[in-house]
Amino acid sequence: NAGVTQTPKFRILKIGQSMTLQCAQDMNHNYMYWYRQDPGMGLKLIYYSVGAGITDKGEVPNGYNVSRSTTEDFPLRLELAAPSQTSVYFCASRPGTGNQPQHFGDGTRLSIL
């Protein structure tokens, strides 16, 4: 009963490096989301996807890219890591819109030094 799986759990990057945060869900959910969580700021939506091949920007997309080639996977790419991207990143999925709650992964803690 995996749900939403995020890898890695922790990562330290140097400024300017790139990396991909992985997110996979096995619930056949159409909607997937990426959030970042900073202390005292709640969750901010980075990107979301309503289905394979469809992605859209959220509130804070700058510095990130996503793709959705399959229903299961929704990776988040950082091309040129900056200290401002130090955060905890959460991936979530839900079957559809409206009254459907989200299912969250356990997060990826990312530090940019």
Partner 1 sequence: AQSVTQPDIHITVSEGASLELRCNYSYGATPYLFWYVQSPGQGLQLLLKYFSGDTLVQGIKGFEAEFKRSQSSFNLRKPSVHWSDAAEYFCAVDDKIIFGKGTRLHILP
The site string for partner 1 over 50-69 (x = CB under 8 A, - otherwise) reads --------x-----------
Q: Site for partner 1 (CB under 8 A): how many residues?
A: 22
Smallest separation (angstroms) from partner 1 to the CB of 16: 28
101 sits near partner 1 (criterion: CB under 8 A): yes
Q: Does 27 bind partner 1 (CB under 8 A)?
A: no
Task: Give the residue with the Cβ less far from partner 1, 73 or 106.
Answer: 106
SS (H, E, C) the chain: CCCEEEECCEEEECCCCCEEEEEEECCCCCEEEEEEECCCCCEEEEEEEEECCEEEECCCCCCEEECCCCCCECCEEECCCCHHHCEEEEEEEECCCCCCCCEECCCEEEEEC
Q: Does 43 bind partner 1 (CB under 8 A)?
A: yes
CB 3 within 8 A of CB 103: yes
Q: Give the binding site for partner 1 (CB under 8 A).
A: 4, 33, 35, 40-45, 48, 58, 90, 92, 97-99, 101-102, 104-107
